[in-house]
Amino acid sequence: MANSESELNDNIHRDFYIPTYILAPDAPNKSRHIGLPDNVPTCPVLVFINSKSGGQLGGELLRTFRHLLNKYQVFDLGEEAPDSVLRRVYLNIEKLKSGGDQFAAKTEERMRIIVAGGDGTAGWLLGVVSDLKLSQPPPIATVPLGTGNNLPFAFGWGKKNPGTDLNSVISFLKQVMNAKEMKMDSWHILMRMRAPKGGSCDPIAPLELPHSLHAFHRVSPSDELNVEGFHTFRGGFWNYFSMGMDAQVSYAFHSERKMNPEKFKNQLVNQSAYLKLGCTQGWFFAPLVHPSSRNIAQLTKVKIMKKQGEWQDLQIPHSVRSIVCLNLPSFSGGLNPWGTPNNNKRRYRDLTPPFVDDGLLEVVGFRDAWHGLVLLAPKGHGTRLAQAHRIRFEFHKGAADHTFMRIDGEPWKQPLPEDDDTVVVEISHLGQVKMLATHDCRAKSIHNPSSHFNHEADDVDSDDENSVDEGRRKFGAADTFKIPDEVDVSRLS
């Protein structure tokens, strides 16, 4: 038994362990590892864990990783922000390399990052890696510890909370070592509104600022995006931006969880609570309770840019109450709102499958929750509006005093001024980040010929509002709709 444990430790050290002198140069009793490049770990990892995610699971996962690895390579995001960690580690690596340390140089080449938390936590770390402009940015694997877990699901890491025991963590580490690298588009978001004549007018209350908008701040006077007489804010995202009723339900859920965190420590309970809020917020009965002035077409003018072309108006059906700008084929816990357009759609509307590295956002509209439930049917999808390299929302004067927005699973309530029409939200392609993915993941690359989805394309495609057949007007939206067995419907009313 002792030999077996010793062999396990040897394997972990050989494959994943990073010496302390690379991670924490000021640590007491650090031991400098002197060795040839062959001694460099196969897959050195930096592990970031949101200990508050997943109820008690975050804390348990933190303890298991620290038991297996060097405690200096496993970080609790509640104690130290990832930017300070990565800045310290990579600055030290540069110093070691300049002194001729080949071990440090090889470790940097093979470095991989693991982040455990919700989509907001993963987006936080992705943003930091992008902002630091590292010479060799490490690829990133995501552990699903949130409610939606769209990022982990898209890249093959699952959407259910993982096991936190020793064997489960070792199994995950081996998957990370064998994972493939993929590029993923990143997106810049800008919000601009006219400065008020008196007082402050921050569109986002500081306490409501989500993790995924960690970089969403007022630009400095020297920033090229700054415009005199306006307040301008900027940030980024990786999975999706949405606006309308779906963001409203999400905001209600996050507000409830913030007030009563003890009730939201189980993933299934969280999902059931989310479904219940969809009912109480009126998402299932939108035509009756949702003011038409808050429908997307009445609220804002939408413009898109195809690749590097000119802006063109995007016509939004008047019944659309929610719009989603999607980067990944995973939304609301693994659903794919875009689907795979059939040959006719590709030929006549110039639509393509949802690649994660093609520089295009998929723009999808929904009328209400029943429309959204069509996604549960085989080949179901929302109303495909466009694919765009850039998209711009220009809010109408006095259309509403606020709307709800959401980025990568984290929502906020966005006030809109009533006396002018100067509020603008613009999304544009920013760059790419390196992700780690399993070999059978849902995310597909435009550069991989085997990922062109031909065998999955829709046989029937009905984006036209007038083409919805009688079967899809039934309660439940689709004959194949089925609420998951784990959800007790009797408790949702």
Whether residue 467 has pLDDT greater than 50: no
Kindly report the three-state secondary structure assignment for every residue of 161-208. CCCCCHHHHHHHHHHHHHCEEEEEEEEEEEEEEECCCCCCCCCCCHHH
The CATH number of whichever domain residue 287 belongs to comes to: 2.60.200
**Maximum mean pLDDT: which of 108-112, 193-197, 234-238, 419-423:** 108-112
Compute the distance between CA of residue 484 and CA of residue 461 in angstroms, rounded to an integer.
25
Residues 206 and 344 in one domain: yes
pLDDT tens digits for 214-269?
A: 445 566 777 777 777 777 777 888 999 999 877 877 777 666 666 666 555 555 55
Shared domain for 375 and 253, answered yes or no, is yes
Specify the pLDDT at position 191.
82
In angstroms, what CA-CA distances link 253 with 240, 261, 286? Answer: 18, 11, 18
pLDDT at 371 > cutoff 70: no
Per-residue pLDDT reduced to its tens digit, 279-311: 444 444 445 455 555 688 888 999 999 877 789
Tokens of residue 408, six digits: 């990568």
> In terms of domains, do 234 and 349 share one?
yes
Please check whether residues 193 and 135 belong to one and the same domain. Answer: no
> Structurally, how many domains does the chain consist of?
2
Give the pLDDT score at 392: 95
Residues 190 and 159 in one domain: no
Q: Which of 151, 178, 205 is the last residue of a domain?
A: 178
Per-residue pLDDT, 162: 83
Q: What is the predicted pLDDT for the residue at 156?
A: 95
Band of residue 380 on the pLDDT scale cut at 50, 70, 90: low
Convert the pLDDT of each residue in 386-417 to its tens digit: 999 999 999 877 777 778 888 887 788 887 77
Let me know whether 318 and 245 are in one domain.
yes
458 lies in some domain: no
* 180: confidence class by pLDDT, cuts 50, 70, 90: very high
Task: Tell me which of 22-26, 73-77, 198-202, 432-436 is least confident.
Answer: 198-202
Which has the minimum average pLDDT: 25-39, 167-181, 343-357, 436-450? 25-39
Domain extent, residue 370, equals 186-433
- In a domain, residue 33? The reply is yes
CATH of the domain at 107: 3.40.50
Mean pLDDT score, 313-328? 91
**Six token digits for residue 17:** 């362990």
133, 162, 178 - which closes a domain: 178
Q: What is the pLDDT of residue 460?
A: 46
Would the pLDDT of 136 be above 80? yes
In a domain, 490, yes or no: no
Do residue 80 and residue 220 come from a single domain? Answer: no
Average pLDDT rounded to a whole number, residues 76-80: 93
Helix/strand/coil percentages in the chain, nearest 5: 35, 20, 40
Query: How far is Cα 176 from Cα 171, in angstroms, rounded to an integer?
Result: 9
Q: Does 155 lie in the same domain as 208?
A: no
Domain membership of residue 442 (yes or no) is no
Residue 123 has pLDDT above 90, yes or no: no
pLDDT value, residue 308: 76
pLDDT at 436: 97
pLDDT 10s digits, 90-99: 999 999 999 9
Residue-level pLDDT at 404: 86
Give 163 or 375, the one with higher predicted confidence. Answer: 163
* pLDDT one-digit tens code per residue, 409-464: 778 888 777 766 678 899 999 999 999 999 999 999 998 856 555 444 554 444 44
**Does 492 reside within a domain?**
no
- Examine the domain organization and report whether 222 and 352 are in the same domain: yes
Q: What percent of the chain has pLDDT over 90?
A: 37
Do 246 and 395 lie in one domain? The reply is yes
Within-domain flag for 21: yes
Whether residue 151 sits in one domain with residue 16: yes
174: pLDDT strictly greater than 90: yes
* Predicted pLDDT at 435: 97
Please give the angle made by the CA atoms of 73, 437 and 8, to the nearest 5 degrees: 45
